[in-house]
A = this chain, B = another copy of it.
């Protein structure tokens, strides 16, 4: 505190932001073999058309698969599969059959040229719309063609419920995984009190 004002410390030019996801990306390789890779650089980037992206290094097997197939699935890792999600970020699909090691079942999407993970409760099926070369990472913007969910994670009005999906959150600073926490309030609602202040 200097003169009542907090002085922030400079941490340098680094990728320190919260929350980041822990998504498992499903692809087919050129020979049609399914692969999984975990990515933390991802997010929703457009509402209409609905778009998501994942950013991947060129060195990854999945990068080549998406370039070849122009499609991928985003499988939202649940707390139940945090060990499997971590494994799919360590191992390479060129060397290992990650599906077998994880006990996961690939399901061929009927609308995009990619497999999703049957055991994961919430998946997004995407076709590539934009490829943006940013540096170490290539950003693959995908149009979401459909979202598929297990009925066990839907609320009574058929919406995916985050407290049932239990997504894994990645902390890039300390490289740790966290779960979802307590309900804080309804969006587009709790801020109204400040409008009339």
Determine the distance from Cα of A139 to Cα of B44 in the docked complex, in whole angstroms: 10
Instruction: Name which of A26-34, A62-70, A144-152 contacts chain B.
Output: A144-152
Chain A interface size, as a band, is: 35 or more
Those of A134-172 within 8 Å (CB) of chain B: 134-137, 139, 141, 143-151, 154-155, 158-163, 165, 167-172
Determine the distance from Cα of A146 to Cα of B179 in the docked complex, in whole angstroms: 28
- The complex is assembled from copies of this chain, and their number is 2
> Min CB distance, A63 to chain B, in Å?
13
Q: Mark A24-58, 1 if CB is under 8 A from B, else 0.
A: 00000000000000001111111111111101010
Q: Mark A1-41, 1 if CB is under 8 A from B, else 0.
A: 00001101111111111111101000000000000000011
CB–CB B146/A90 < 8 A:
no
In this complex, what residue of B is CB-closest to A172? B44
